[in-house]
Structure 1
């Protein structure tokens, strides 16, 4: 009998899994400063859990355009109390490219590391993940080795194939460092992490089924939530965020990273009821 997939075992339900975004930062593009204090961040994490998050993705540093680089010590200082409190209550994913932050968070009970540099900023991070038998998310970013978005642009001949090839190379780096292949997730990114041309993100979304096929057998995360490729005000982006994520899930994405877990949950429930996503045994309901 084949061993159960580690992510399905971790979350206890079939994909897609909702990752609620928790920015413990003063300068994140969508909610900077709202949850900088540990008490506020912990309360928000619990709210995301109640709304249906399978995991909480905690970040202590913004890599949006114009944001400064943060040292690991300050990053740990921002998130440590939050991780220590929430780790016994739910699955935690830590959005970091620092091996020291990853090691401390995994010691406190986090289960997944979400590296938006895809191991370019700190190669030691892969060995830390392997030592803890943790999950690893690798995100594409046009800039590197640090993932912070710069004014530099990127042009692609085939954006889907080129991002897939990059992520396959970085997944191989992780595997050589000892990370189990079945614990690796890849994320094609969106918006300025791809390029400053919004159409490149739409091309990735239009070709998402092909992208999933190219990066198989690795699982795929979709992280379009509130990103700037949508030509509308930030406060109005959630519905299109959920639509793009839902279509990506229908085309093979297993993880949905979202700021609005409640809305994402409702989209997934509706899709299951309409037969667009596999139904969960025992049914789903609003409540």
Structure 2
């Protein structure tokens, strides 16, 4: 059993991404080897990450799913290694059996992009373990999620669907003080819809649960800063990501999930110091 980490003062928690996958959109294959993934996780901690999110399944649009045992084999050695070194570790998985294996290896949080919809055993598994659970807004697996972008009103529809998951997860026994919600930027959303959701982030804080938001390097940031309108490569979108992090810090979200930690941590620290100075 573990408790939900709390925001450190006036800034959000910074969650560093460790993708143990061959096909993630930003850095697939770079840290597939456990030793490399552990080294990368430690580097993110040194840059200022508060916790690390370890994932063994790519959720980029069109991605295929690995077999359950393959996902376990990818994430468990990394979770075990980083947890043994004192890191607060989240496992990014949609499968209850992967969550169980990762928790046994030392993970403290389960981050499920399906919000428990992809595996009917997930909610009961997390409730029994008594660990924090991040539930994202989700409409389907990566293979076809971008065919599910019709909304009458994207803010109200996402808010309503996320509220429905909140209520179901609480009814399944997950404690209210252990549940985090995520509006799911990039998942069954167009670029325009992502921007609309960001502009209405306060609507999601009104759901009454802490918020985790992941905009890092996503495709809707692909033309931000481009002089000629060409697409900026994913690994060059960290300045845009940091700018989004400023907006999220101002909205007082619980956490921000990013690939490159230093710039987001610095952006959040700026907001915290301005607030501190204003109280002085």
Instruction: Compute the TM-score of the two structures, normalised by the length of structure 1.
Output: 0.87
Any stretches of 5+ residues in structure 1 without a counterpart? Answer: 280-287
**1:236 shift after superposition:** 2.4
Q: Report the equivalent of 1:187.
A: 182
Deviation at 1:12, TM superposition (A): 6.2
Match of residue 266 from structure 2: 266
1:22 partner SS: strand
Aligned counterpart, 2:102: 105
Cα distance, 1:252 vs structure 2? 2.9
Aligned to 1:80: 76
Alpha-carbon distance change, 183 to 148 in structure 1, aligned in 2, over 3 angstroms: farther
Q: Is the 8 A contact 1:60 1:76 kept in 2?
A: yes
Q: Deviations over 1:97-152 (max 9, x none)?
A: 0000000111111111110011111021111111211110011123x2x3555441
Per the alignment, residue 5 of structure 2 pairs with: 7
RMSD: 1.8
**TM-superposition CA deviations, 1:30-64 (whole Å, max 9, x none):** 00000000010000011111111111000001011
* Deviations, residues 221-280 of structure 1 (Å, cap 9, x unaligned): 1100000011331232111111112202211311000001111111111222222xx58x
Distance 1:23 1:250, change over 3 A: same
Tell me the residue number matched to 2:210: 219
Alignment of 1:154-173 (within 5 A): 154-173=149-168
Q: Which residue pairs with 1:176 in the alignment?
A: 171
Contact 1:139 1:167 in 2 (8 A): yes
Contact 1:187/1:221, CA 8 A, preserved across alignment: yes
Q: Aligned to 2:198, which of 186, 205, 211?
A: 205
Secondary structure of the residue aligned to 1:43 is helix
What secondary structure does 2:5 align onto? helix
Structure 2 counterparts to residues 55-70 of structure 1, below 5 A: 55-70=51-66
Seen in structure 2, the aligned counterparts of structure 1 residues 256 and 235 have a Cα distance that, compared at 3 Å, is same
Relative contact order, higher structure (CA 8 A, sep 6+): 2
Question: Where has structure 1 moved over 2 Å in runs of 4 or more?
Answer: 11-15, 146-151
**Alignment correspondent of 1:285:** none
Q: Determine if contact 1:60/1:96 at 8 Å carries over to the other structure.
A: yes
Gaps of 5+ in 2: 224-231
